[in-house]
Amino acid sequence: MTEAWSPRVTRVLAPNPSPLTLEGTNTFVVAEPDAATAVVIDPGPADDGHAQAVVRACAGRRVELVLLTHTHVDHAEGARAFAGRAGAPLAALAPGWASPGAPVLAAGDPLAAAGLELRPLPTPGHAADHCCFELAAERAVFTGDHVLGRGTTVVEWPGGDMADYLASLELLRDRRPERLYPGHGPLVGDAVARVEGYLAHRLDREAQVLAALAAGDRTPAEVVARVYAAVDPALHPAAELSVRAHLAKLAGEGRAVADGDGERFHPAGPGQG
């Protein structure tokens, strides 16, 4: 499915729906309407039909640059092949992914392409190599998996880091965007409120994790069973990654204590656990 989300942004939905990818991965074709070239963000899975749909969405424009928000398979599996097919450089934060001639993605170094300015916003947390892209002309941000169009995202421990994730949410909030173009789900029009909601959700989950430890839960699986009792059990393995990220953050702050192998935790403080 291809849909114009603004005069500059076209979403091409990849055919990879799942409980974690929602309707599928959003690949974006970005360009000023009168530009002869386009930028493609997150080519998505290695699916020839999807790649052809992205090319059609470029509407005759040459692909000038391919960008990755991060290298998880649902966003990046088809990226190298698509960039090669288009004859365009591939830029990513992850070491070893950027192709020769690709621009370096760094905060404060805007990219000029397809008649637009795109500002990289490194946002580690969901993944260590995550990077959002701010579209200056629309006060919009392409958020990858940092913020989704519906629901909340997973902080994929051990590659993900909860302290980094919260700091990256604060960074995004402080940019005061007006809309978000997420890697999964619909366009977000209430951008700042959504990011503030994500921050509140994560702090609430942190309090629930601490309460679970105080109640006697010791393993990540036990914490998940209590904290995510109302959530579809099929999502519990993904939830456990976020719980592990919370526990690692709490242990790093001295608010929880991990045993030698990091598989059991108890509350910090005398007489507890």
Amino acid at 170: E
pLDDT of residue 66: 98
Q: Which of 236, 245, 149 is nearest to 202 (CA)?
A: 245
Residues of the chain with pLDDT under 50: 271-273
> What Å distances lie between residue 261 and 131, 157, 246, 252, CA to CA?
31, 15, 16, 15
Q: What's residue 132's pLDDT?
A: 98
Where exactly are the structural domains of the chain?
Answer: 2-95+103-189, 210-267
The contacts found for 229-235 with CB under 8 angstroms, 24 or more apart, are 232/19, 234/19, 235/19, 235/20
Query: Does the domain at residues 2-95+103-189 carry the CATH identifier 3.60.15.10?
Result: yes
Residue the block writes with tokens 């599928």: 24
Which pLDDT belongs to residue 259?
84
